[in-house]
């Protein structure tokens, strides 16, 4: 889990520019807004909408598409140690600021389409405690008419932002909507060279008029960009350096198209699958699975490994085979039902541990550089491209120097998911691995990629 403070020195806007953020693929705006009757913007706190989505709101308004902004909290917890402003005062202040910011955007758009602001008044910093209530409130608003849904990013490493992004993803999938996620704090804490999620996102170019309009709207959020007073606890929440991140000539969004799946849906999909069929891929009876497993085991470059991490262990058939070749094995799956079978399959191995986690967002407690082998077999295409990128980064950090990443994936079409086997392996090769093994046949591709460094054993 990423931890950071807004007061810490973060990644500069110049660093993002130098790494090529301006070279991202543009948003397909005509496709996005083609049948939309409105743009629904979900903000965890007053100012999120202006920081991350002012440009896309202007784009909608100029296309004569109304914009509805839903503020989930009043932002009353922005200055918890303020000696001059109680939470209720901050809430009123921020209400006035966001109303004025939206008026400025509407004025600069120059169209008849309206911006409305809707407030849910849920407690700032505690959206996770109100997950079901929030989902019902947002679902009711999303159903009112056909919309494009925009929200904070589910991986922003801010509790309220993350919860809202996940809820919005579920609603967008349920209603077959375009979903745009706008990062806020990600730009501050992420390293563009080490965290490759952003490589798979889309940009919205902002012309001078749009950038000026956004700058004017942001200037209304004075309680966040300027000190409340000179006293300790009243410091500005958004420094000039942080603000520069949001005054670039583009906004960046994680785009999910209607019908596309990612990890926000996969846990329920696979749990239902295992409940319906205990062995949905015929691991026990399939000649393909048995042959692939033999090839996988014979391809391992070491007779024995220290610590092995298996991601997506399913019912544990392969897990039991890997357990014969290591001192310690942690096997992970998102399905409780699958893990119940895996527990029976591996019961004879005291050195095997099973955990139910949804990757990449839920990563196990592992020290960096402590794993000798990570196995990702036939699960990479059940993630979106940026989720796979995040997962590969976590694997690289967990592996010891000289440790190995084993990838094995089906080469035929994967219905209903965004990636295929070759794309999974192509994304993996963006990192500086050293390929030790490659085996390809008609049905699957297997590679073992080494982390640069001294090989153990």
Same domain (yes/no): 255, 273: no
Percentage of the chain with pLDDT > 90? 92
- At 2 the pLDDT is 76
Same domain (yes/no): 250, 269: no
Q: Where are the alpha helices (DSSP H) in 232-325?
A: 240-245, 263-276, 287-299, 317-323
Spatial separation of the C-alpha atoms in residues 168 and 154, rounded to whole Å: 9
- pLDDT, one tens digit per residue, over 211-251 is 999 999 999 999 999 999 999 999 999 999 999 999 999 99
Q: Where are the alpha helices (DSSP H) in 63-158?
A: 87-109, 131-142
pLDDT grade, residue 436 (50/70/90)? very high
Residue among 359, 180, 146 nearest 266 (CA): 359
pTM of the model: 0.92
- At 457 the pLDDT is 46
- pLDDT, one tens digit per residue, over 310-366 is 999 999 999 999 999 999 999 999 999 999 999 999 999 999 999 999 999 899 999
Does residue 1 sit within a domain?
A: no
Same domain (yes/no): 100, 182: yes
Task: Please give the full DSSP string across 303-336, using - where no structure is assigned.
Answer: S-EEEEEEES-TTSHHHHHHHTTEEEEEEEES-H
Does residue 4 sit within a domain?
A: no
Is the pLDDT at 83 greater than 90? The verdict is yes
Count of structural domains within the chain: 2
Same domain (yes/no): 152, 254: yes
Query: How much is the average pLDDT of 206-211?
Result: 97
Same domain (yes/no): 248, 275: no
CATH number at residue 256: 3.40.50.10320
Average pLDDT over all residues of the chain: 95
pLDDT grade, residue 1 (50/70/90)? low
Residue 150 contacts residue 41 (beta carbons within 8 Å): yes
| Cis peptide bond N-terminal to 360, omega within 30 | yes
pLDDT grade, residue 418 (50/70/90)? confident
Does residue 7 sit within a domain?
A: no
β-sheet with 250-256: strand ranges across:
25-26, 202-205, 250-256, 179-182, 147-152, 38-43, 67-73, 115-122
Same domain (yes/no): 243, 327: no
Phi and psi angles of residue 307, each rounded to the nearest 5 degrees, phi first = -110, 130
Is the pLDDT at 206 greater than 80? The verdict is yes
Does residue 5 sit within a domain?
A: no
Same domain (yes/no): 252, 309: no
Same domain (yes/no): 244, 388: no
Write down how long the chain is. Answer: 457
Residue among 42, 22, 319 nearest 181 (CA): 42
- pLDDT, one tens digit per residue, over 86-126 is 999 999 999 999 999 999 999 999 999 999 999 999 999 99
Does residue 116 sit within a domain?
A: yes
Spatial separation of the C-alpha atoms in residues 222 and 94, rounded to whole Å: 9
Q: CA 37, 38, 44: angle at the middle one, nearest 5?
A: 155
Same domain (yes/no): 283, 143: no
Spatial separation of the C-alpha atoms in residues 123 and 311, rounded to whole Å: 36
Interhelix angle for 87-109 vs 208-218, to 10°?
160
- Last residue of one domain, picked from the residues 198, 226, 260: 260
pLDDT grade, residue 40 (50/70/90)? very high
Does residue 2 sit within a domain?
A: no
Range of the domain at 73: 13-260
- At 269 the pLDDT is 87
Same domain (yes/no): 42, 177: yes
- Residue 6, CA distances (Å) to 13, 49, 71, 345, 457 in order: 15, 18, 21, 47, 43
CATH number at residue 276: 3.40.50.150
Same domain (yes/no): 185, 330: no
- Last residue of one domain, picked from the residues 260, 280, 314: 260
Does residue 175 sit within a domain?
A: yes
- pLDDT, one tens digit per residue, over 130-178 is 999 999 999 999 999 999 999 999 999 999 999 999 999 999 999 999 9
pLDDT grade, residue 264 (50/70/90)? confident
- pLDDT, one tens digit per residue, over 380-390 is 999 999 999 99
- 145: three-class secondary structure by DSSP: coil
Does residue 457 sit within a domain?
A: no
Q: Which of 249-276 are b and which e, b meaning 16 or more Cβ less than 10 Å from the residue's Cβ? A: ebbbbbbbeeebbbbbbbbeebbeebee
All residues at 6 or more sequence positions from 273 whose CB lies less than 8 Å from its CB, including other chains: 280, 335
DSSP assignment, residue 67?
A: E
Is the pLDDT at 456 greater than 70? The verdict is no
Same domain (yes/no): 150, 30: yes
- Residue 356, CA distances (Å) to 20, 168, 170, 350, 427 in order: 37, 23, 20, 18, 25
- Last residue of one domain, picked from the residues 231, 260, 289: 260
Phi and psi angles of residue 54, each rounded to the nearest 5 degrees, phi first = -60, -40
């Amino acid at each position: 889990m990423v931890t950071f403070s807004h007061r810490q020195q973060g990644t500069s806007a110049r660093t993002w520019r130098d790494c090529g953020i301006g070279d991202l693929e543009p948003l397909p705006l005509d496709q996005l807004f083609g049948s939309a009757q409105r743009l629904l913007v979900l903000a965890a706190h007053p100012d999120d909408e202006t920081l991350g989505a002012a440009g896309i709101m202007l784009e909608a308004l100029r296309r004569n598409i109304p914009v509805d902004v839903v503020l989930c909290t009043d932002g009353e917890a922005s200055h918890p140690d303020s000696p001059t402003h109680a939470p209720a005062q901050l809430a009123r202040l921020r209400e006035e600021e966001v109303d004025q910011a939206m008026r400025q955007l509407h004025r600069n758009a120059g169209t008849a389409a309206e911006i409305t602001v809707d407030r849910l008044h849920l407690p700032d910093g505690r959206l996770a405690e109100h997950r079901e209530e929030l989902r019902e409130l947002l679902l009711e608003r999303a159903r009112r008419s056909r919309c494009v849904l925009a929200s904070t990013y589910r991986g922003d490493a801010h509790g309220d932002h993350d919860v809202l992004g996940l809820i919005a993803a579920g609603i967008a999938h349920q209603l077959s909507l375009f979903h745009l996620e706008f990062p806020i704090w990600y730009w501050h804490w992420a390293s563009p060279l080490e965290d490759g999620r952003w490589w798979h996102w889309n940009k919205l170019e902002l012309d001078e008029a749009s950038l000026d309009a956004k700058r004017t709207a942001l200037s209304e959020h004075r309680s966040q960009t300027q000190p409340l007073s000179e006293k300790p606890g009243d410091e500005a929440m958004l420094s000039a350096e942080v603000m520069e991140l949001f005054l670039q000539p583009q906004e960046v969004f994680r785009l999910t198209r209607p019908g596309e799946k990612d990890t926000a849906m996969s846990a329920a999909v696979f749990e239902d699958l295992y409940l319906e069929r205990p062995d949905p891929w015929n691991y026990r009876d399939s000649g393909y699975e048995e042959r692939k497993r033999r090839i996988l085991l014979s391809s391992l470059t070491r007779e024995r490994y220290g610590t092995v991490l298996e991601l997506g262990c399913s019912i544990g058939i392969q897990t039991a085979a890997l357990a014969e070749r290591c001192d310690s094995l942690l096997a992970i799956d998102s399905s409780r039902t699958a893990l119940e079978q895996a527990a029976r399959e591996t019961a004879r191995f005291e050195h095997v541990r099973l955990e139910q986690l949804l990757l990449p967002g839920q990563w196990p407690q592992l020290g960096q550089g402590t794993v000798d082998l990570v196995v990702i077999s036939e699960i990479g295409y059940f993630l979106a491209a940026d989720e796979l990128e995040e997962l590969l980064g976590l694997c690289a950090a967990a592996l010891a120097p000289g440790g190995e990443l084993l990838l094995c994936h089906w080469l035929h079409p994967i219905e209903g998911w965004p990636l295929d086997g070759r794309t999974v392996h192509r994304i993996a090769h963006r990192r500086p691995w050293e390929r030790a093994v490659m085996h390809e046949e008609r049905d699957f591709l297997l590679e073992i990629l080494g982390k640069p460094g001294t090989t153990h054993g």
